[in-house]
Amino acid sequence: MEVLLVSLLNGLVYGMLLFMLASGLTLIFSMMGVLNFAHGSIYMLGAYFAYESTHWIDFWSALLIAPLLCGAIGAAIEVWGLRRVHHNGHIAELLFTFGLVFIIGRSVQMAWGMLPMPYRVPAGLDFPLFTLYGLQFPAYRGFMLLVSAGMLGGIWLLLKRTRVGMIIQAALTHPGMTAALGHNVPLVFTIVFAGGCFLAGLAGVIGGNYQSTEPGMADAMGPIVFVVVVFGGLGSLVGCFIASIIMGMVVTFSVVIDASIADLLRPIGIMPRNDDLLGEILTVPVARIGALLPLLMMVLILFFRPRGLLGTRDT
Amino acid sequence: MRKRSAIVCFTLLAAAILLPWLFYDFAHHRPAGFVISMLSQMGMMIILALSYNMLLGQAGLFSLCHATFFGFGGYATIHFLNAAGAGDLPVPMELMPLLAGLSGLGLAIVFGAMATKQRATAFAMITLGIGELVATAALMFHHFFGGEGGVNTDRMIDRSLFGLSYASGTQVYYLIVGWTFIATLLMWLQTMTPLGRMANACRDNFERAQFMGYDPRIVRFLQFCLAGFFAGIGGGLYAITYEIVTFDAVAAPLSANALLMAYIGGNMVFAGPILGAVLITLLQSGVSLMSNSWLIYVGVLFIAMVTFAPAGLTGIIVAHGPIWRAGRISQLILPYLRLLVPGIAAVTGFVGMVELLSFLTIGAAAGKQLVLFGSPIDVNSASPWVVAIVLLVVGSVWLRFEARYFARVWESVGGDAEVQA
């Protein structure tokens, strides 16, 4: 029971972190048809910026400044990079962001070195929030939940209840018509791209000290965020949210499950032995293949529902 | 046109056959090991890049899991070689790459059935997931993939069509030359088959292709499977050469490498990826020995190509064709020379900045001395930084200025040349 509750909470924290990254990615995609491969890199930059700024200012200011910097970088990428290659088609845009991954990844190594940075949880949040069956739940995780829930509400309000949100939604589906009505659609694109990067930066600030701030964090986070977006369905914010939570739960729960497929087969009389590839797949405990499960789930959902969970359109 | 391609093709083949002897150490009767291993690497990378271009260039599919089929072919070959060594598999060495290709094909059929339901961006994401899936599985399962240590074999299986033992790197190199030639030829012929043409059509306008009665999904699927087959051949050669296949052969960096080679070489010309593979392999074995910032240079080169020369290096060469035929190429010499000076300044400044910065964080910790352009440099003094920044800034501003002049001349020459042609 205690394992269940603690894993549930941790899965929620991780899932919300995933959603912060995936929401920006899916917004950018549904609007511009561009998949930002550098999204994980921006997340990494957010963490490094936050670490760097805690030398001069406190964590709370860094919480605002680092995402703003990431947003500015995003705007620069859109204006000076993507817009230039736009006329060469979507593949060129994809390739452009793909090249950015190398440059940002290497630049981070150049600026901060290869070793993990001592980016710590702020002292004001470094206490156990409550104790559950003898296990302490850190206040910082509660804070992460708060920030991501706030972000979720913020996005929803912005998109559904404001004029800007309405224009963004209109530009999402009918860019030509929106432009004809006198709105500056390229500016909307820049805002959305910068906004997505802002969210990735924010996720970096609060994720950098939850996980670890090191040059490999972009490669560690990037693929799973893509998996979330594909699983949820390209272009669907709700699907993206559901997928984030599911993936967060799957990754967290798989760590504590020590069973394997063989345990399910044993009652019906099949006894697989670990002496070939099939036997190994059947007998490997779930805890050891935790990293594989989200990818497997993605492949499975593509097999049964090529558009993903709530995907609305093909590409 | 076709005759000229054939001449180029056979010149390249002759060069590939003769090159090891150019570097042969006659004084000690020893083959040049480094050259042979680099040329072998080039052969595999040519197959990888060409097969990747069957997707990117020909079908407009941006795949991120190409190394999956390359690596899987490699893993399978290790197991085939082990079986052959134990006497369970009566296949001669020369046909092993074919088995590897069939393994790649098998896997491509499975994953292609899922990935090719989509195109463009969604396809790219799905292949990314597939690549990660196989790479992660390769680390976790020991019976087939050997976990982190990989699987290894002994290539001397004592069964050959030509009675060769494949004990030396030179013999393996000629096996690679042979298979690279066969694979290249097949892939070139494939571009002229109806399937190859339909792949082009679906790339350019899949809706029109659909109206004509073709199913773009089937075209994508077949193209994907064939690309997987050829990548598998490359992987087989990899396994035979190194006698060990690890996680690196299926991991994302190799997929990215395939993309870089095909794109930088030029994905709209068949020979483009060959040029890209040769160039990137040369750079990799040259630059990566000198500098640990190799990836940032590749990244910048790649982004510059995407932005300014989307047709790649061969695209740039092809664009000069009409001007050459019009006999006006001499008018471009001066603009090129004028580009060269600020270009060299900007590149030198950029390399200087990158090396100084990366030395400060990574190299200095190792207690080494920075040597740049042949002379030792003190990173703590101000002068190298000032020189690098001045070179970079002045060079780029001047380059912009010259680029405009170049564009004017290019338009006047190119525009006229097109009319004459």
Question: A217 CA to chain B: closest CA distance, Å?
Answer: 15
Single-letter amino acid, residue B7: I
Q: What stretch of H or E contains B235?
A: helix B216-242
pLDDT in tens, A168-219: 888 877 878 888 888 888 888 888 899 999 999 999 988 888 887 888 888 8
Q: What is the DSSP letter of B191?
A: T
Chain centroid to CA A144? 14
Can you give the pLDDT at residue B227?
93
DSSP characters for A25-62? HHHHHHHHS---TTHHHHHHHHHHHHHHHTTTS-HHHH
pLDDT tens for residues A101-113? 988 988 888 888 7
Q: How far apart are CA B331 and CA B93, in angstroms?
A: 54
Which stretches within chain A are classed as H helix? 2-32, 39-53, 59-76, 83-85, 90-112, 139-161, 163-173, 175-180, 185-208, 217-232, 237-254, 261-265, 277-283, 293-304
Q: Comparing C-alpha atoms, which of B258, B266, B341, B260 is closest to residue B309? A: B266
Report chain A's mean pLDDT, rounded to a whole number: 83
Whichever domain contains A51, its CATH number is 1.10.3470
Short-list B241, B243, B203, B237, CA closest to B219: B203
pLDDT tens by residue, A31-77: 777 888 889 999 999 999 988 888 888 888 888 889 999 999 999 99
Distance, in Å, from the CA atom of B410 to the CA atom of A257, rounded to the nearest integer, reads 66
A81 touches chain B (CB under 8 A): yes
Crossing angle between the packed helical segments B216-242 and B33-53, to the nearest 10 degrees? 170
Residue B372: helix, strand or coil by DSSP? Answer: strand
Indicate the residue type of A34: V
Partners of A41 on chain B (C-beta within 8 Å) are none
B362–A114 CB contact, under 8 Å: yes
Smallest CA–CA distance from B116 into chain A, residue: A306
Whether B130 has its CB under 8 Å from any CB of chain A: the answer is yes
Q: Which residue of B has its CA nearest to A276?
A: B143
| DSSP secondary structure string for all residues of B332-363 | GHHHHHHHHHHHHHHHHHHHHHHHHHHIIIII
Q: What gap in Å lies between CA A65 and CA B51, rounded to an integer?
A: 46
Gap from B360 CA to chain A (nearest CA, Å): 8
User: Which is it for strands B244-245 and B370-372: parallel, antiparallel or unpaired?
Assistant: unpaired
Q: Which residue in the block uniquely carries the two structure tokens 């405009």? A: B404
pLDDT in tens, A2-30: 778 888 888 888 898 899 888 888 888 87
- Whether A155 maps to a domain, the answer reads yes
Q: Are the C-beta atoms of residues A250 and A287 closer than 8 Å to each other? A: no
- Residue A311 belongs to some domain of the structure: no
- Mutation target for A interface from B139, B143, B305, B306: give the one with most A CBs within 10 A: B306
Shortest Cα distance, chain A CAs vs residue B2, angstroms: 29
- Helix then strand then coil, in percent of chain B rounded to 5, is 75, 5, 20
Query: By C-alpha distance, which of B218, B77, B69, B79 is closest to B130?
Result: B69
Which of B12, B175, B184 lies closest to B96 in space, CA to CA?
A: B175
CATH class of B2-300: mainly alpha
User: B330: which 2 tokens?
Assistant: 């001499």
Candidates A100, A106, A306; nearest CB to B295:
A106
Chain B residue with CA closest to A80: the answer is B307
- CB within 8 Å: A226 and B128: yes
Contact between B361 and A109 using a beta-carbon 8 Å cutoff: yes
What distance in Å separates the CA atoms of residue B415 and residue B417, rounded to the nearest whole number?
Answer: 5
B125 in contact with chain A, both atoms CB, cutoff 8 A: yes
Domain of A273? Answer: 2-304
Cα A269 to Cα A188, A261, A263, A264: the distances in Å are: 61, 13, 10, 10
For the segment A285-308, the average pLDDT, to the nearest whole number, is: 79
Question: From the CA of A103, how many Å to the nearest CA of chain B?
Answer: 5
CA B44 to chain centre: 9
Give the pLDDT score at B2.
67
Separation in Å, CA of B359 to nearest CA in chain A: 8
Q: How many domains does chain A have?
A: 1
User: In terms of Cα–Cα distance, which of B233, B173, B160, B180 is closest to B18?
Assistant: B173
- Given a contact cutoff of 8 angstroms between Cβ atoms, the answer to whether A200 and A18 are in contact is no
| Every domain of chain B and the residues it spans | 2-300, 320-420
Nearest alpha carbon to residue A230 among B284, B122, B275: B122
Are B273 and B265 spatial neighbours (Cβ–Cβ below 8 Å)? Answer: yes
A312 lies in some domain: no
Please tell me the predicted confidence (pLDDT) of residue B225.
93
pLDDT of A216-267, one tens digit each?
A: 888 888 888 888 988 888 777 888 889 999 999 988 888 777 777 777 777 7
pTM, two decimals, is 0.85
- B30 in helix, strand or coil? strand
The closest CB to that of A230, out of B126, B141, B296, belongs to B126
pLDDT, tens digit only, all 421 positions of chain B: 567 777 877 888 888 888 777 777 777 767 777 888 888 889 999 999 999 999 988 888 888 889 999 999 999 999 988 888 887 888 888 888 999 999 999 999 998 888 888 777 778 888 888 888 888 888 888 878 887 788 888 887 777 777 777 777 788 888 899 999 999 989 998 988 988 888 888 888 888 888 888 888 889 999 999 999 999 999 999 999 888 888 888 888 889 889 888 988 888 888 889 999 998 888 887 776 666 677 788 888 888 888 888 888 888 888 887 778 877 777 778 888 888 888 888 888 888 888 877 777 766 555 566 666 666 777 667 777 888 888 888 888 888 888 888 888 877 776 544 333 3
Nearest-by-Cβ selection for B299 from A102, A234, A275: A102
- What 3-state class would DSSP assign to B377? strand
**Token representation of residue A303:** 């097999």
pLDDT reported for residue B105? 93
User: Quick one: CA torsion of B249, B253, B259, B263, rounded to 10 degrees?
Assistant: -130
A193: closest CA among A89, A102, A83, A313? A83
At B288 the pLDDT is 66
